[in-house]
């Protein structure tokens, strides 16, 4: 259940300010995988990268940004 582990990780990060800071400071996928392992959630960097590539940016934003839905800009960038 790798995808479930990844989604569970995003849910844990969304609720935990300390993990949010760690995840925001991560510079690569391997660091995110290490943070997830600290939470007893296991997936590989390849699995995470694949998940991120397949997930639309708006869906990712809603998983990562607590309390903030899909973002729409007043003026397109």
2-36 pLDDT, tens digit per residue, is 889 998 998 899 889 999 899 889 889 999 999 99
Quickly list H helices, 1-77: 2-15, 17-25, 29-38, 45-54, 57-64
Work out the mean pLDDT of the chain and round it to a whole number. Answer: 80
Task: Please state the length of the chain.
Answer: 77
What is the reported pLDDT for 58? 63
Q: Look at the pTM and tell me if it is higher than 0.85.
A: no
What is the reported pLDDT for 69? 47
- Give the pair of three-digit tokens for residue 63: 């998983």
Please determine, for residue 65, whether its predicted confidence score (pLDDT) is greater than 70. Answer: no
Please determine, for residue 52, whether its predicted confidence score (pLDDT) is greater than 90. Answer: no
Place of tokens 């993990």: 19
């Amino acid at each position: 259940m790798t995808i479930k582990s990844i989604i569970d990780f995003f849910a844990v990060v969304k609720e935990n300010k300390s993990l949010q800071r760690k995840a925001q400071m991560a510079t690569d996928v391997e660091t995110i995988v290490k943070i997830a392992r600290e939470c007893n959630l296991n997936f590989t960097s390849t699995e995470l990268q694949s998940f991120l590539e397949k997930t639309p940016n708006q869906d990712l934003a809603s998983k990562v940004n607590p309390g903030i839905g899909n973002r729409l800009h007043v003026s397109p960038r």
